[in-house]
Structure 1
């Protein structure tokens, strides 16, 4: 099962679309109209959007055509519905915030608008981008499966050809996991490298603005607009130094992820990469628990006003965290913070000799949904450590559903990792079993 790939403008990558617009072969209005037609036909099932007004989107596209300026001139972008937009509601997928208008743009949205982008609409999310009410979104490859969370609609919209770029956020695994399940490129940058001003705070030490695209080159385009510096990168995988880090939760990997990591290693070695196994030091064992302790402590601060106003009307898991049902102490928090600070420095050092570190994106294929959005098992430690992560699609599991792998590395190596993803992605697609490649010509969600 997979998505139909019609030869229409909605399937252009961002760079392809911009190149056509630059030479007058395509207008923003043409592109937005193609995306809106795709949404009209597919979104009754995929359900990636919480707010989208076609007439408003077309008006923005026509204004962009008239202006004709900016590196993203007329490019449509989806926005996760926890990120503030002055001209659209931001509901957090919460019944308590229906029709909520912050009346300001998040810093990320303001930067993209200034670059000429068209803000198409708001993408569905797990409530407050934490473990609350699920998004209505379905996996575009299989309606019985989850797209992942919390950036559910953002990943699905890009994977389904409804928009070339979308914004998401990650506090645990909320960008990378949906990218793996839906089969898109995505980046969770180094923490705070892109401003997190203007979206619903969950855990300020971890919350990171990320984005989805259908190519690594498109990830790089947005990184450049956000002012992230370019970095040297090998011109090919031949001779590139790649570490394989299965992490300390490898025992939780399902057969699909085990096979994906083996296939990725074989493809890298066949391409001439120098592949090394990287074992994390024993003190990293405590990082998963440290992530939980810090995240929940910061949630008790971030959601205090909401809890005092709404109390038990909030979803039960959040109420439990607000009551500190786990019984975490300030000493537990201090120990978790100290451990994470030490390990950030250690990982920067041990990853420095490599061009990239390859690690799993998820435990396996997308689980049957909608309630099970999957677990951030393989994401939490990288989010805690503030490391950049790029999901690279191309491989599939036994159900012929996407299984991504992650490239990570030292803090602030973001654009080098994007460049490495551009080298790795094509060889992973080439390594995909023949049956899975043939299935990609079919149509999902009939």
Structure 2
């Protein structure tokens, strides 16, 4: 099962605009593939073929002129759409969500993808190895792209829910700068951490979405080669959590960048950053609980985890300290990052797991989510079992276009972009 089964969103829309394909034809092909293979993968929670074809017909009837005309799109159950709310998000005002934006440019929504882990009802299997999992909350969205069901998929990140599944499934994953993309309709429940997650089979599609999301422009020309770029090699504040397959792949990726002329320099985070994982966990737990209380559900659905969070050192002083540490580390990282064009770190701790109780360790992701920086997981590396391993490219806040530009160059070196050209 291969993500190469489908062209990228930009390629699809170009073909539709130029009359070489129709949105209906693309949609029918996607539906056939979903019918054939999703019983094995379990990426989708719901697909209504009649609705999908009606949406595609509307794109064709409108002349197929949008920048995403005919591009197939899947959306996680963690995000609200005009047809269905998300848990905790309710039904958004029409026209206000990122899903509405992409559909307005001609993307054809195929359906909603499953949420795995504590928020869902079971694991989504990994298209690269059906005895392995696809990750946590956004795993269905990542698997849908990896299986070739769709060109684009949207998910959620509040820890590692986008970047880890992207690594496990061997697809591109982008967590934009916090609050740089509309959060209306996100169902995570943590205002300080919730961020849209984007999956694609091609880096060019991330650049296209950056245009549609009107991300801040680059201050200078985009880099067109790795030679001369300064890349900070960050093994994270918790390097002992990274398992040998990822450590070896990370070192190999760094070696390849050096061979391309990049100046790769070890970047050690200050000791201050070691407290960010705990700060993230406290902030996420407190804000998620507050969201449940605000929905007047806590007295009915309070779990052992909720009671543990209330008793686990989440008083006012601890919460003030957690927020203060996050603010301080954001400023510290901005200063650290000025010496580099980008930072590279592992996207996950290991290859995709096999046990349903293990959605993947977010130790390599939680701090970047709390720091609010843009992250792109670059596919292309593999571990000893032939399973994908991603490398994350990170730049300062509001420099998403630089993140995507450097990640695209890294993708060429790691091999996937060249193989799919």
How does the TM-score come out when normalised to structure 2?
Answer: 0.93
Cα deviation, 1:73-126, whole Å, max 9, x if unaligned, reads 222211111211122x3464x9xx9xx866856511121122122121111113
Indicate yes or no: 2:193 matched with 1:206.
yes
Is the partner of 2:16 in helix, strand or coil? helix
One of 101, 106, 109 as aligned partner of 1:119? 109
Instruction: Calculate the aligned-residue CA RMSD, in Å.
Output: 2.3
Q: What's the CA shift for 1:70?
A: 1.8
Indicate yes or no: 2:310 matched with 1:362.
no
Runs of 4 or more above 4 Å deviation: 100-106
Tell me which moved more, 170-179 or 102-111. 102-111
Cα deviation, 1:347-380, whole Å, max 9, x if unaligned, reads 0111122111000110010111322111111000
Indicate yes or no: 2:137 matched with 1:150.
yes
Question: Separation in 2 of the partners of 1:343 and 1:403?
Answer: 27
How does the TM-score come out when normalised to structure 1?
Answer: 0.88
Q: What's the CA shift for 1:37?
A: 0.9
Q: How does 1:168-183 map to 2 (within 5 A)?
A: 168-183=155-170
Is the partner of 1:334 in helix, strand or coil? helix
Indicate yes or no: 2:245 matched with 1:256.
yes
Tell me which moved more, 365-374 or 244-253. 365-374
Cα deviation, 1:309-362, whole Å, max 9, x if unaligned, reads 6624x6653x345x6131321100001111110110110111122111000110
Cα deviation, 1:37-74, whole Å, max 9, x if unaligned, reads 11011000111111110111011111101112321122
Is the partner of 1:144 in helix, strand or coil? strand
One of 87, 98, 108 as aligned partner of 1:108? 98
8 Å contact kept, 1:393–1:403: yes
Is the partner of 2:397 in helix, strand or coil? coil
Indicate yes or no: 2:376 matched with 1:390.
yes
Question: Separation in 2 of the partners of 1:166 and 1:34?
Answer: 17
Is the partner of 2:251 in helix, strand or coil? helix
Q: How does 1:266-415 map to 2 (within 5 A)?
A: 266-305=255-294, 308=297, 311-312=300-301, 316-317=304-305, 319-320=306-307, 324-415=310-401
Alpha-carbon spacing, 1:141–1:15, altered in 2? closer, same or farther (3 Å): same
8 Å contact kept, 2:243–2:350: yes
- Equivalent pairs, count: 417
One of 119, 123, 127 as aligned partner of 1:140? 127
Q: What's the CA shift for 1:431?
A: 12
Is the partner of 1:150 in helix, strand or coil? coil
Is the partner of 2:75 in helix, strand or coil? strand
Q: Specify every segment of 5 or more residues in structure 2 that has no aligned partner in the other structure, as ranges.
A: none
Residue 82 of structure 2 aligns with which residue? 86
Q: Specify every segment of 5 or more residues in structure 1 that has no aligned partner in the other structure, as ranges.
A: 441-446
Question: Separation in 2 of the partners of 1:431 and 1:160?
Answer: 17
Cα deviation, 1:167-205, whole Å, max 9, x if unaligned, reads 011000001000000000010011000011112142110
Q: What's the CA shift for 1:136?
A: 3.9
Alpha-carbon spacing, 1:429–1:233, altered in 2? closer, same or farther (3 Å): same
Is the partner of 1:143 in helix, strand or coil? strand
Is the partner of 1:113 in helix, strand or coil? helix
Is the partner of 2:154 in helix, strand or coil? strand
Is the partner of 1:324 in helix, strand or coil? helix
Alpha-carbon spacing, 1:207–1:272, altered in 2? closer, same or farther (3 Å): same
